[in-house]
A and B are shown apart, each in its own frame.
Chain A
Amino acid sequence: MLQSDTPGLERTRMRVTRGRLTSRLAVALLAAVGAIAAVPTARSLTNGDPAPACSAPLLDGNRSVNLAEYRGQVVYLDFWASWCGPCRESFPFMNELQRDLADRGLQILAVSVDKTAEDARRFLARYPAQFTVALDVAAACPSAFQLQGMPSSYIIDKGGAVRAVHAGFRNRDRAEIRQQLLDLLGGGAK
């Protein structure tokens, strides 16, 4: 019988099981989605919270820098990594801030979460930094700050309180960040 190799009855039974298997998988997917979407996330820092303690070794030289050292100065704390795309845009911006506002007391601290100094240096070769760069391989500071994205930047006032949080970096954030810093540094827009 050339028409089909297997008798009709057996073929239908196979089709039914296959159909039920796939629909069961569809149900499994929806269950998985439900479970995943509901995973709770830690509360992130908001304005007014005191900045957590954070210290990390400098990229060059063997000294370590501590956020508390800058009490009395306005600090722009930025967490970055060589693998983070938007960081390429934020570095030229931070150079501008350093050039324009450093003499008015702004302290920029860029903490890399790279696993090796070499990764961080290779990034800096393409995107030079004229501000202080530290390397926190153990990622103690990012955990303390509970970053919401990469890069993340925090504006910390002279009293050590967080006054602005920026998760990610978009070009349109530039004006807002500059204005927030100017407000804290005192003296209107230069």
Chain B
Amino acid sequence: MPVKLDVIPAGAGIQYLAATASAVHNAAEELTMVTLYRYPFAAMGSRCEIRLYASSEETAAACARAAIDDVLRLETKYSRYRDDSVTAAINRVAQAGGAIDVDAETATLLDYAAACYEQSDGLFDLTSGVLREVWSADRRELPDTDTLQRLLARVGWSKVRWQRPRLVFGFPGMEIDFGGVVKEYAADRAATLCAEAGFRHGLIDLGGDIKIIGPHPDGTPWAVGIQHPRIKEAVMATLDLFEGAIATSGDYERFVEIDGRRYSHILSPRTGMPVCGLAGVSVAAPECVVAGSATTIAMLMEDRGAQWLDEVGLPHVWMDQQLRVGGTYA
């Protein structure tokens, strides 16, 4: 039975390997052929989107659903417009003056806001929402100073006593607004939900505040464009982000136009007037909530904003009123 090399049939082995290989390959493919799934939605007054690389539509949709539900939960819980929200409950007590015990999540948000108040020398203040009474969108002329003084008397975190879990308002007429923290906090939570569900690649975008779940599957970073504060379609800078978060604030988002001048929606708790310093600022940080408050504080710092950002030491980029660009990413 001489053996001829080429005559030998492929033998069971080869067919077996081919069958197993294809079976495993499909399983592996199924598990690794990741495609990008995008879930746009509206929340907290902005256009939001969840981008997830997943091996199947079902797994991506399940995670996106859970993350969106959490964002909407936070929107409802801290909404200024709903009367069944925690913010409304707190503000009913604040309006009359008095004390209220808050839940653990609200307590940690208040702790966080207190830290921002200290680190911004009192400029980042949850109670400055009262000033909105005079700065409504349809205003056509500057408010007179004594109206502002009357409002400023009802503004000031220092006028509130906060001992977890009790919040005490010494006198009536104050107001609390979690607006400056909740959106970025929601982005962090949504990213955590997906990361803990095993997703390694994707991002959460809540109206420009972006939290990265992980780089693209091939390891390349996400290219994030920062909008030019004055030219709608232009980009001030593009950043490569493997991880962490980036938040952006600017005077161009919502503003009031009076006598041809643009006034930002960000109001200073000291002067009661819209801030006028940086035109736009973006900050990167491991947590979106830190990046968000850093941008807001930089805007509140007006002409000291750039210097404050250097002190904090986070990577950032800003543009001032003269359209000059600065920061670590400049």
Contact = CB atoms under 8 A, between A and B. Distances in A.
Interface in B247-289: 284, 286
Interface in B212-258: 212, 214-215, 219, 221, 242-244
Interface stretch (A6-14, A42-50, A70-78, A118-126): A118-126
Interface residues of A, number: 11
Contacts of B328: 60-62
A130 interface: yes
A149 interface: no
A97 to B, nearest CB: 16
B242 A121 contact: yes
Given A125-B215, A130-B286, A61 B315 contact: yes
Which applies to chain A's interface (DSSP): helix, strand, loop or mixed?
A: loop
B11 interface: no
Interface residues of B, number: 14
Contacts of B286: 128-130
A128 B313 contact: no
A126 B219 CA distance: 11
A130 B200 CA distance: 19
Given A60-B328, A61-B328, A130-B286, A124 B242 contact: yes
A123 to B, nearest CB: 9
A122 B242 contact: yes
A61 B313 contact: yes
B315 A121 contact: no
Contacts of A62: 328
A121 B112 CA distance: 28
Interface of B: 200, 212, 214-215, 219, 221, 242-244, 284, 286, 313, 315, 328
Interface of A: 60-62, 121-122, 124-126, 128-130
